[in-house]
Chains A and B, each alone.
Chain A
Amino acid sequence: MTTSTLTDRYVSAVVRGVPDRQRADLEQELRASLADDIDARVEGGAEAKTAEREAIVELGDPIVLAARYAGRPLHLVGPELYADWRRLLTVLEFIIVPIVVATLVIVGAVKGDTFGGIVGGAVWTGLSVGVHLAFWVTVTFVLIERSPSMAAKKLMIWTPDMLPETAAQRTSRTEFIVETVLAALFLTAFVLSPFVSPFTDAAGAVVPLFDPWIWQSGILIVLVLVPLLQVGAGALKLRGHWTMPYAVAATLIDVAGAIAIIVLGATDHLLNPAFFDAAGWPQSVIGVTNIVVIVVGALAIATSAWENIRSVRRA
């Protein structure tokens, strides 16, 4: 046989997908079955070429047929493992990505990188880490799915204790009120700070509590916008209009705010040393405050994503 027929090509495509030791036997059987089918179609009046084509079309995609012969699953992760896969992936993504992003921001800020450089680098690396996590976790589950001995072992046995909390309206309302009051205090402090202070310098100008760099650099816009948006998000959450797009947007807002205060702390631009001199307060307080602010910012990033997404379920 010099030219390969459609049957040759089909049979070889199917047997390629089954273990070696079954191939010869399967090939012979499949050829006989196809030949029988073609003969029956020709007897029924079909043309030989058409009969062959139709018989093959009926057997369908060789990848599917080979998988059925080999008893391989036709899915990447099946119903047995799906819940484990999803639970593990969610937990890892929401723990590891924020930690990586926060670490990069802190390291970048300490090294004195530019604001854009820090944010760009953190976002890019955060995305890469997220994609890598999803890919490797999935690959692992695909392999487990294909090794019967491992697939038999459940990774986690689900129990009712693992159910998330339901909507506790009272808690949410208290949360919202506290959030709003804090945001109002925060905004008032920042906006009034350049104009109101108990101290003035030799020239009679006001000595603000916060570092004047906050106004000069324009980071003030972030510090004002973020709390306002957070209050808005809190109101939406409380009214139950909370969906995944909102959760993602709210997380980004929280992260932007957290990054801003981390930058302030890390670059020593939060408090004004002149104010401390005038007030006679120890300068060491500034350093301690910087560290506290960095830690709070990092924690805020880590918890924000988790909190916002969880609220989608509660809503």
Chain B
Amino acid sequence: MSKPDPTTPVVSLEDVTVEFSDSGGPLGLFGDEEVVTAVDDVSLDIGEREIVTLIGESGCGKSTLGKTAIGAQRPTGGSVKYRGQDVWEAKDGNGDVPFEEIRRSLQIIHQDPGSALNPNQRVMTSLMLPIKRWNPDLSREQREERVYTLLERVGMSPAEDYLNRYPHQLSGGEKQRVVLVRAMLLNPDLILADEAISALDVSLRVEMMDLMLELQDVFDTSYLFISHDLSNARYIAEKAGGRIAVMYLGQIVEIGTVDEIIDDPTHPYTKALKWATPNLFGEEPDTEFPIRTIDVPDPTNLPDGCRFHTRCPEAREVCTREDPPPFEIGVEEHRARCFRADPDHEYWDSPEITDDDTEAGPGAGAVGSEAGD
């Protein structure tokens, strides 16, 4: 398998912030609107042939970050670059690379393949149209050949059987494969797979991830793979030698290789996600809930200091007032936004907090000792 090359980023996010106001539009001029910061000052490079998996709970901003990375969402702060070209400058007509090319190079497959396919179009039409649009010089025969080869490659064989079907005549897994094939036909540099396997049965997920990896090998594609499931993220990242990024309330709170994140997580939130991931085999962590409250804080009213402090079992006084920056851990690219990553931080002398000290939102009942003993 071709090796990922993180040193030549396909997409670079630099200090990206995305804010939404409750009027749904761009940030208003009036100060009384409720503002949700979906992505807060995130920097991330996605390298050539690299797989970066992004995990976190719903509402943590992972989909918004993903859409921003492929130029489908304009950031309110920071920059998004495709091979060095600022995506939004290109969009505004001030770039060296045409925006159309950027759009073709950055593709998306999402959770519901049914909605991504036109119900009134046969599979053949759905697959041929994009090639026709992006490769107008190909003959009909050449286009057909590409479609046939790729469908057979993803196990939809014989291809002509499937090409004449309508989406409703396909299973969920087959639809998702058609959507993946359609994205690949454009020969993109990066595919955002936003919960692309979450709607599939557990038993079909490995198959779909294997297909994505196989196609990556052929097309040299990078993936930004979004999932709320750590075991899926770990599977695809480990097979591809990729990285895992953990998001919480708009920030990447920890990022590193699979070994670093799965075997040696630093951030208490990563540890909580690992705890919550049910495994079939092996020892179970027979500990208490590693969070103090079940419910995520209101995103329109983020906690001060470290965003995780209201749920964090390790939170101390300093965490309630200071937001930890990304600390480097070891020599690799491993980073965590937690004071505990810094052995000399004042955190260690800071008093522990009790549940009464935190401003847990109403309804966010404490998950105390009675819950997990």
A and B together in one complex: no
